[in-house]
C-alpha cells in the first residue's frame, strides 16, 4: 500500500533517509532486537481513527504508507501509536508489527470528567516555549511548561518574542534565566527572518520540534518563517477561517526548511499538567531537596512543625513566592493523579462486574 507522498508536505527537501525522518541510534539498537523480518521503520505522520499514516525512507520522495491502527495493551486503539512514533511496517501484511520504544512522549489529560490520559506526541527533541516581552510573560506559566517538557523528556528552549515592542527586553531574559541557569533562552523578533534564524540550531535535519505557549505570542509567525512558507494562519485567524479549508489542519508533521519536523496537532496545543510529578521535581529540584529535611515526609510546608522549607524562607535562602507556585503545581498534579487513580479503579471494578455477570450467565 505504498502511495505517493501526497499529504505530508512533499517539498524539494522531502526526506530520503531515515536520519532525515528523525531516526537515531536509540531506535537502531531496538531494530537489532526485533530482527529483520519484523518490517521496515516508518515514522507516524498522522493518526486517524481507522488508519495511521507513516513515512518511510524511500527513493526520491520518501514512501508514505497507510496501515490500520496498532492496538494498545488493553485493546485500546488510541493507546498505541501516536504522531512521531516509529513502527516497524510489514509490507506483505500492510500492518505495523511493532512499536519502537520512545525517546520522549507528551501526554495529556483528556477533556471532560474522566481525565483519561491521551498520547499526544512522541520522539520530540525540542520544545520551544514561547512567550512575549509583555504581560503574557508569567513565571508560573513558564514553570508549568518547563515541568511538561521535563516530564516528556524533551529539551526546553525559552523563546521570548516581541522584543521590538518593549523598552527593556533583557529584563525578561534575566527573569527567565533566574528560573534555571542552564536554560537556553532566545530573544526573537518573529517578524524578522534574521532574528528567527536564532532557532535554526534546534531545527536541523532529523530534529523534531514543537511550539508551546499561549495565543498571540507568535508561534505561527515563527513557524511560517522557519518553514519558508505559510503552514499556519497567524494573527488570530484560524486555519479554518481561510477560504475553503486549509489543508494544513489534517497534517500533524510539517517539514521546516532547515530539515526539522514541526509536530503540530490539536492535542499539542492543549497540553495540560498531568503525571508531571518527575517534571516538577526537575524544575524545582532545589526545593525538593530542601523539603527532604522536613520532619514529616508528607509535609505541605504550611503549618507543620519542623518544616525545612519554611525555615529556608525565613532564613532568606529561597523565595516565598516561588515556593507558593511550587505548592500549587504539586497540589494540582496530585489532584489530577488522584482522579486518574480513581478512574482506573472504577474501570477495574466495572471490568470485574462484567466478568462476574458473564460467568453468572454461563452457569
Ligand atoms: N512586533 C511583533 N509582532 C509579533 C511578533 N511575533 C508575533 N507578532 C504578531 O503577533 C500576532 C500573533 O502572532 P501569531 O503567530 O498568530 O501567534 P500564535 O502564537 O500563533 O497565536 P495562536 O495561534 O492564537 O496560538 C501577529 O499579528 C504577529 O504578527 C514579534 O516578535 N514582534
Ligand atoms: Mg497560531
Ligand atoms: Zn515542609
Ligand 1 atom showing the smallest separation from residue 224 Cα: 15
Q: Is the CB of 233 under 6 A from ligand 1?
A: no
Q: Which residue has the higher pLDDT, 344 or 331?
A: 331
Q: Is the CB of 336 under 6 A from ligand 1?
A: no
Q: pLDDT over 90 for what percent of the chain?
A: 53
3-state SS, residue 3: strand
Cell numbers found for residue 241: 477561517
For the chain, list the domains and their CATH numbers.
2-101 (2.30.30.140), 120-269 (3.40.50.300), 284-362 (1.10.40.50)
Q: Is the CB of 165 under 6 A from ligand 1?
A: yes
Assess whether pLDDT exceeds 60 at residue 3. no
| pLDDT value at residue 76 | 55
> What is the Rg, in whole angstroms, of the alpha carbon atoms belonging to the chain?
23
Provide mean pLDDT across the span 267-295.
Answer: 84
Q: Provide the total of helices (H) and of strands (E) in the chain, helices listed first.
A: 11, 14
- pTM for the predicted model, two decimal places: 0.81
Residue 101 has what DSSP assignment?
Answer: P
Confidence at 6, pLDDT banded by 50, 70, 90: very low
Pocket test for ligand 1, best of 195, 234, 248 (most atoms within 8 A of CB): 234
Q: Taking all residues of the chain, what is their mean pLDDT, rounded to a whole number?
A: 83
pLDDT in tens, 286-305: 999 999 999 998 899 999 99
Ligand 1 atom showing the smallest separation from residue 189 Cα: 31
| pLDDT value at residue 75 | 55
Q: Is the CB of 135 under 6 A from ligand 1?
A: no
Confidence at 107, pLDDT banded by 50, 70, 90: confident
Q: Is the CB of 195 under 6 A from ligand 1?
A: no
Amino acid at each position: 500500500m505504498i502511495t505517493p507522498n501526497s499529504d505530508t508536505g512533499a517539498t524539494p527537501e522531502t526526506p530520503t533517509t531515515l536520519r532525515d525522518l528523525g531516526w537515531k541510534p536509540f531506535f537502531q539498537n531496538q531494530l537489532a532486537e526485533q530482527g529483520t523480518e519484523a518490517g521496515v521503520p516508518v515514522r507516524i505522520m498522522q493518526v486517524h481513527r481507522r488508519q495511521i499514516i507513516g513515512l518511510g525512507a524511500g527513493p526520491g520522495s520518501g514512501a508514505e504508507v497507510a496501515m490500520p491502527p496498532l492496538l494498545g495493551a488493553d485493546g485500546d486503539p488510541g493507546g498505541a501509536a501516536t504522531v512521531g512514533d516509529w513502527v516497524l511496517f510489514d509490507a506483505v501484511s500492510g500492518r505495523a508489527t511493532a512499536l519502537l520504544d520512545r525517546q520522549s512522549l507528551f501526554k495529556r489529560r483528556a477533556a471532560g470528567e474522566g481525565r483519561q490520559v491521551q498520547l499526544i506526541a512522541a520522539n520530540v527533541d525540542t520544545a520551544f516555549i514561547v512567550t512575549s516581552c509583555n504581560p503574557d510573560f508569567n513565571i508560573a506559566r513558564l514553570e508549568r511548561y518547563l515541568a511538561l517538557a521535563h516530564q516528556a523528556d524533551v529539551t526546553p528552549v525559552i523563546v521570548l518574542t516581541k522584543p521590538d515592542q518593549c523598552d527593556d527586553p533583557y529584563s525578561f531574559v534575566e527573569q527567565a534565566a533566574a528560573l534555571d541557569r542552564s536554560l537556553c533562552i532566545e530573544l526573537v523578533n518573529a517578524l524578522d527572518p534574521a532574528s528567527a534564524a536564532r532557532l535554526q540550531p534546534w531545527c536541523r535535519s532529523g530534529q523534531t520540534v514543537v511550539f508551546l505557549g499561549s495565543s498571540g505570542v507568535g508561534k505561527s509567525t515563527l513557524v511560517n518563517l522557519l518553514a519558508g512558507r505559510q503552514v499556519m494562519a497567524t494573527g488570530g485567524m484560524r486555519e479554518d477561517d481561510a477560504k475553503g479549508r486549509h489543508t494544513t489542519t489534517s497534517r500533524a508533521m510539517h517539514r521546516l526548511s532547515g530539515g526539522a519536523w514541526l509536530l503540530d496537532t490539536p492535542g499539542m496545543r492543549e497540553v495540560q499538567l498531568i503525571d508531571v510529578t518527575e517534571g516538577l521535581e526537575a524544575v524545582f529540584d532545589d526545593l525538593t531537596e530542601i523539603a527532604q529535611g522536613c520532619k514529616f515526609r508528607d509535609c505541605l510546608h504550611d503549618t507543620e512543625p519542623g518544616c525545612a522549607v519554611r525555615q529556608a524562607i525565613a532564613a532568606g535562602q529561597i523565595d516565598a513566592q516561588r515556593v507558593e507556585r511550587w505548592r500549587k503545581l504539586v497540589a494540582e498534579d496530585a489532584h489530577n493523579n488522584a482522579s486518574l487513580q480513581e478512574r482506573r479503579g472504577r474501570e477495574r471494578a466495572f471490568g470485574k462486574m462484567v466478568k462476574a455477570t458473564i460467568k453468572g450467565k454461563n452457569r
